[in-house]
Amino acid sequence: MTDPKLTDLLEESFLRCRDLEAPLADRLNAFANELRSLGPHFQATVDALVSRLAASGAGAAAPKVGEPMPEFLLPDDQGRLIRLEDFLNEGPVALAFNRGHWCPYCRINIDALARAQEEIASERCQIAAIVPDRQRFTVWLKSDTGAKFPVLTDMDNGYAMTLGLAIYVGDALKRLMASSGWDPSVSQGTDNWMLPIPATFIVGTDGIVRARFVEPDFRLRMTIEEMLAALRAAN
């Protein structure tokens, strides 16, 4: 059951952290701290998942620097089918795997990407966010963050799974998430509670991964500075 008071508190905390004038890592960390003070039990469950994922080597098989990024064909927020090649014809691209429109960390992440989008576009580089959410929710995510870049739908985490990035959240976290109003089944159109490990890949026009950030701890993301540097180097 959703507790309306908790969800309201979480949204307030989220807005405070999202609107900070601070680097992405600080904003993410600020929200993680707020969450700790709201529900300490959350912390233990999240830590348990993160250490389990680390122990199982989750994400280890994802493409490494110097390896080719596998091609994809995914619908964007307007229902257009987009290939990796479509981006590479224009320039280097940052592919940011995010968990969904409901995830505060991902909203902060995509908000930070949107803040950097003009600078990235001026260097003839691109961004694409990839989420398992359906179109109605990718449209919402774009307007929530002011993102002008495409937000692609990866149904059932199919592409993420080919990269070894799809994980099951686990029974304990599933219960906690549902009680916090973070239920991905509606937006994903399936109730399998699989999520991608957040990851960012910088891909050069030759399709080769130039930099990557793969982290089972979903509270951590590639910094905007690292992303910008890698995109510039790939250009």
Contacts to another protein by CB under 8 A: 2, 7, 11, 48-49, 52-53, 55-58, 61, 70-75, 79-81, 83, 85, 101-102, 134-137, 139-140, 153, 155-159, 161-162, 164, 166-168, 170-172, 181, 183, 186-187, 189-190, 192-194
Rounded CA-CA distance 154/73 in Å is 9
Q: How far is the CB of 126 from another protein (least distance, A)?
A: 19
Nearest CB to another protein, comparing residues 134 and 212: 134
Give every CB contact of residue 67 below 8 A, 6+ residues apart in sequence: 208, 209
Nearest CB to another protein, comparing residues 160 and 227: 160
Q: How far is the CB of 135 from another protein (least distance, A)?
A: 4
Exposure string (b/e) for 166-190, b if CB count within 10 Å is 16 or more? bbebbeebbebbebbebbbeebbee
Q: How far is the CB of 148 from another protein (least distance, A)?
A: 19
Q: 135 and 77 in contact (C-beta within 8 Å)?
A: yes
Q: How far is the CB of 6 from another protein (least distance, A)?
A: 12
Q: 82 and 76 in contact (C-beta within 8 Å)?
A: yes
Q: How far is the CB of 2 from another protein (least distance, A)?
A: 8
Closest by Cα among 75, 205, 222, 61 to 137: 75
Q: 102 and 110 in contact (C-beta within 8 Å)?
A: no
Q: 138 and 76 in contact (C-beta within 8 Å)?
A: yes
Q: How far is the CB of 183 from another protein (least distance, A)?
A: 8
Nearest CB to another protein, comparing residues 186 and 229: 186
Nearest CB to another protein, comparing residues 101 and 120: 101
Closest by Cα among 208, 207, 228, 209 to 125: 228
Nearest CB to another protein, comparing residues 43 and 135: 135
Nearest CB to another protein, comparing residues 33 and 56: 56
Tell me the C-alpha to C-alpha distance, in Å, between residue 2 and each of 8, 63, 99, 181, 187: 11, 38, 20, 6, 17
Q: How far is the CB of 103 from another protein (least distance, A)?
A: 12
Nearest CB to another protein, comparing residues 61 and 233: 61
